[in-house]
Amino acid sequence: MTPMSRQGDNHPNWKGGRYIDSAGYVQVRIGVNRYRREHRVVAEKMIGRPLAPGECVHHLNGCKTDNRPENLEVLGTGAHTLLHWQEGGKEAFQQPDRPNATCHPDRPHHAKGQCKNCYLAAAQKAYRARHPERAKASDKAQKEKNYSKHQERKRERYAELRAAGMSAAEARGLA
């Protein structure tokens, strides 16, 4: 007499090959120690092909355990995200409100307790401290660029004034 196999439905702890995972979705057994979310399996049977990487299954009534075909809809990830934002905003995604920055309490937090402007300024300052030669070269190039722009604007302004009949000395007196 051979002993009975104690796997699958012969095991005393067998619960039918289904369980609810930590995210609230029903998982079904599809093989030995292999489980998949039931709504994805049902949707694939509905459309007659495997889901593409950019496709999601939406529960129309919002109940993650209601996997009837009439309650499921296959959407692209962008359309699915947009749908949830339109239905409930941040709450639909269970996103907490971002705290305000400690540097400027009227601005949203970006990183390390700072608003975006202060964080980027601190990062730039740290970079300049780590790479002083690169910072010096960058400063020199920026000054040359700004100087040439300033000179060009000055020439354009004097040309406009001369076209209006003023001399350069009269134009300097206006400034």
Residues 114-138 pLDDT 10s: 889 999 999 999 999 999 999 999 8
The residue extents of the domains of the chain are 15-92, 131-174
**What separation in angstroms does the CA of 107 have from each of 51, 111, 121, 123, 142?**
41, 12, 15, 18, 30
What span, in angstroms and rounded, lies between the C-alpha atoms of 151 and 34? Answer: 72
CATH number of 15-92: 3.90.75.20
Lowest mean pLDDT among 1-5, 44-48, 60-64: 1-5
In the structure encoding, which two tokens stand for residue 40, read together? 């994805």
Chain segment 133-161, per-residue pLDDT in tens:
999 998 899 888 888 888 888 888 888 88
pLDDT-derived band at 174 (thresholds 50, 70, 90) equals low
Lowest mean pLDDT among 49-63, 92-106, 139-153: 92-106
3-state SS, residue 73: strand
